[in-house]
Amino acid sequence: MPPWYVMNPFALDGHNTDFVFKQGQVYMKVTVFGTGYVGLVTGACLAESGHEVLCMDVDTKKIEALDQGRVPIYEPGLEIIVADNRERGTLTFSSNVREAVDFADILFIAVGTPPDEDGSADLQYVLAVAEGIGREMDRPKTVINKSTVPVGTADRVRQRLRETLAERNTPLAFEVASNPEFLKEGAAVADFMKPDRIIIGTDSEEVRKQLSELYAPFNRSSDRILFMDVRAAELTKYAANAMLATKISFMNEMANLAESLGADIEQVRLGIGSDPRIGYHFIYPGIGFGGSCFPKDVQALERMAREQDQPMELIQAVDRVNQRQKQRLIERIRNHYGDTLRGKVFAVWGTAFKPRTDDMREAPSRVIMEALWQAGARIQAYDPEALEEVERLYGPRDDLRLMGTRDAALQVADALIICTEWQHFRVVDFAQLAGQLADRVIFDGRNLYDPATVARHGLRYYAIGRGDSLQHIPGEQS
């Protein structure tokens, strides 16, 4: 077999990183069930490394779009590697379960696990895939849970496979393993190509060998694979996200206290972040976390704990704080305007829950815009990537205009609201802003600017935890 050579243009340091598969290294075929955020990134990155991958989805329109080169989600670098590997023939798409099961002996389940009404993860799609595999398999398979699933899901997948095979009277061997993803939206391709860790839950030596070979291209400079038992792997994913969410909620609580005390939380952040035991990651105060992972996983973990009669009061508080923090900017807006919000026009910069994505699931911007609409205000929204999602969520309405640039959103606006910390929002002409905003006020949910600099241009600036003493405009009576 000739050596594979694949270039990865998405190294975190900005330089090209070459993956060279030497003579004799194992080439593998893989099926990924699900072409959402996790499934498509997983499939595309495995194909980029030289493996042959088929991504399967029951959504035929999505598969048709992918077959035509249209990627349904925005993720930096993803569209390029999908296109390149489609052209090379290492990445294909199908909506046929039988074809998908027959294609490979390593089968990833990467379908959605949306929150149920009680906060628990809904496993209907995971178990439906397991049933489909059991119905179509005709030789031994290794089934790997990539979706974020509650502890014990591998047992349920194993049971569903057994039952389906028994109905067919077909005694075939199979293994079920856990391999949770740790991908940050906005950096998922880089995270997959250069992972911090690769968690694999299995008690099978054969699976350890299979997945070590599968992940060899991503594990070359140092051994990043951590093998553990299946339940530990399932819990690790939830524990990691809950820890990060806890840091965010803690910092938001500190920001609210700092605001009451007249202290600047940004100075506090630098002070505590310099401690290497704490670090700077995930200690930025703001208007709460959103997206497809943290809110859902925090609630699912809390639900799991209650089911085991082990209530997690800290995790409950993390969720409560986050829900309350999403109201923080609305409170500042109402305090500033009183009962005069009706008819006001607000420019909204950023609607995605974070930069470098178009994902608006659980986004704080939604809470803010919906509250303002209820109060009779109008919105002029700009986001570099998420405007189509805004349109999909809200449709045409008289009190919403989608603007093509950040400056266009300021036209005839009374005030500016910043919900997402996109890079090109960080440097602005405050003199121009002061001239454009009728009420000369900025509500910054991401602490992008220096309060003193904003105040020198005659703008009222409300941020998160910057201290009431920093809101003073020169020449204005306290």
What are residue 8's DSSP bridge partners? Answer: 17
Tell me the residue ranges of DSSP E strands in 11-151.
Answer: 17-21, 29-33, 52-56, 91-94, 106-109, 141-145
SS3 309: coil
Question: Which residues, in sequence order, are CB contacts of 279 under 8 Å at separation 6+?
Answer: 273
The runs of H, that is alpha helices, within 262-338 are 265-273, 294-307, 313-325, 328-337
Asked whether the beta carbons of 234 and 180 are under 8 A apart, the reply is yes
- Candidates 45, 55, 293, 419; catalytic one: 293
SS3 at position 62: helix
Question: Which of 357, 236, 353, 351 is closest to 297 using CA atoms?
Answer: 236
Mode of pairing for the β-strands spanning 52-56 and 91-94: parallel
DSSP string computed for 358-416: ---TT-HHHHHHHHHHHTT-EEEEE-TTTHHHHHHHH-S-TTEEE-SSHHHHTTT-SEE
Spell 147-166 as b/e; 16+ CB within 10 A means b: bbbbbebbebbbebbeebbe
293 in catalytic set: yes
Residues annotated as catalytic (active site), given as ranges: 293
